[in-house]
């Protein structure tokens, strides 16, 4: 349940415009709602400042649609990741405000306007092939209210492309760097700026990249202080952490 809705219920009881029984009925699904196949955490927004995010992989379109409908009913904005086109079409049939980013495989529904904050997050990729993971991070940060700057295809194979963006990058409060292959870009960016870097290895590269493992190990072994690392292809996790940092602004 969105905090504003909860606050309105409490205020209505205090003013006498809503009875205690009516309030209890409105609050009966707190702190979570059991859907049989899922327990929807309605208190997530109150605890974390952002509602539960739906991870759609291996969920059926019916399950996803049911979860989305309950979140919309609770007046929460919806962010879903790893969404298939079929799952999106199932949701969109009932919720016309749903939008889909096919590259990032994310789905969003804006129920309440997203409060825009002053925190800035830069999303940087080494190559064009890393953009899907970066877009998952970017959509996450935007849904969390941050100002997002996308800087794509500036990897170490042509490092001058990154240096041309240095002034823009330096304005950031946190940075997500998505890179496959050997994952070197995170270390380079970490040596140029003073804000925290969230490195996300991608499963991009030839055989010895081991589907992102080489980039993961390279990022974990960075010599640049201030770089932390999330799991392979976890753009959502990177965007979430970067946003928590930038939101402190």
How many domains is the chain partitioned into structurally? 2
Nearest alpha-carbon partner for 126 in 185, 70, 43, 169: 185
Q: Specify whether 131 is located in the same domain as 180.
A: yes
Range of the structural domain that residue 213 is part of: 120-247
Give the end of a domain, one of 109, 137, 158. 109
Residue 174, in any domain of the structure: yes
Give the end of a domain, one of 52, 80, 109. 109
C-alpha dihedral over 218, 220, 224, 229, to 10 degrees?
110
Q: Specify whether 104 is located in the same domain as 129.
A: no
Q: Specify whether 129 is located in the same domain as 225.
A: yes
Q: Residues for the chain: how many in total?
A: 249
Q: Specify whether 101 is located in the same domain as 201.
A: no
- 61-73 helix and 85-92 helix, angle to the nearest 10 degrees: 40
Q: Specify whether 132 is located in the same domain as 171.
A: yes
pTM of the model as a whole: 0.84
pLDDT in tens, 88-105: 999 999 999 999 999 999
Give the CATH number, domain containing residue 124. Answer: 3.40.50.1970
Q: Specify whether 131 is located in the same domain as 211.
A: yes
Give the end of a domain, one of 65, 88, 109. 109
Q: Specify whether 130 is located in the same domain as 241.
A: yes
Residue 114, in any domain of the structure: no
Say how many Å lie between the first and final Cα of the chain, rounded.
Answer: 25
Q: Specify whether 78 is located in the same domain as 176.
A: no
Q: Specify whether 80 is located in the same domain as 148.
A: no
Q: Specify whether 152 is located in the same domain as 205.
A: yes
Residue 144, in any domain of the structure: yes
Looking at residue 42, its pLDDT comes to: 78
Per the model's pLDDT, the better-predicted residue between 207 and 45 turns out to be 207
> Residue 110 — pLDDT band, cuts 50, 70, 90?
very high
Q: Specify whether 220 is located in the same domain as 180.
A: yes
Residue 182, in any domain of the structure: yes
pLDDT in tens, 134-172: 999 999 999 999 999 999 999 999 999 999 999 889 999
Q: Specify whether 183 is located in the same domain as 235.
A: yes
Sheet-wide strand order for 120-125: 147-151, 120-125, 174-179, 197-201, 227-229
pLDDT in tens, 204-245: 999 999 999 999 999 999 999 999 999 999 999 999 999 999
> Residue 191 — pLDDT band, cuts 50, 70, 90?
very high
The token pair at 106 is: 């994310």
How far apart, in Å, are the Cα atoms of 39 and each of 4, 30, 115, 175, 197? 22, 11, 27, 33, 33
Looking at residue 159, its pLDDT comes to: 92
> Residue 196 — pLDDT band, cuts 50, 70, 90?
very high
Residue 95, in any domain of the structure: yes
For residue 62, pLDDT over 70 is answered with yes
62 neighbors 35 (Cβ within 8 angstroms) = no
For residue 21, pLDDT over 90 is answered with no
Looking at residue 19, its pLDDT comes to: 85
């Amino acid at each position: 349940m969105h905090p504003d809705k909860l606050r309105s219920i409490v205020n209505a009881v205090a003013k006498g415009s809503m009875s205690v029984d009516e309030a209890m009925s409105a609050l009966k699904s707190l702190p979570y709602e059991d859907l049989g196949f899922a327990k929807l955490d309605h208190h997530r927004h109150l605890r974390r400042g952002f509602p539960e995010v739906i991870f759609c992989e291996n969920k059926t379109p019916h399950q996803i649609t049911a979860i989305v409908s309950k979140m919309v009913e609770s007046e929460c904005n919806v962010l879903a990741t790893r969404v298939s086109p079929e799952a999106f079409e199932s949701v969109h049939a009932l919720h016309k405000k749903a939008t889909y980013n096919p590259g990032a495989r994310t789905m969003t529904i804006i129920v309440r306007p997203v409060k825009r904050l002053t925190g800035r997050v830069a999303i940087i990729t080494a190559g064009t092939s890393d953009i899907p993971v970066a877009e998952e991070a970017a959509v996450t940060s935007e849904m969390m209210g941050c100002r997002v700057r996308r800087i794509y295809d500036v990897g170490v194979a042509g490092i001058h492309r990154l240096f041309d963006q240095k002034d823009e990058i330096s304005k950031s409060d946190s940075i997500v760097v998505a890179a496959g292959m050997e994952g070197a870009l995170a270390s380079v960016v970490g040596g140029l700026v003073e804000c925290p870097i969230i490195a996300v290895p991608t499963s991009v590269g030839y055989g010895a990249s081991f589907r992102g493992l080489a980039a993961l190990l390279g990022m974990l072994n960075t010599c640049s202080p201030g770089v932390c690392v999330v799991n392979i292809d976890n753009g959502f996790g990177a965007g979430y952490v970067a946003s928590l940092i930038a939101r402190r602004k």
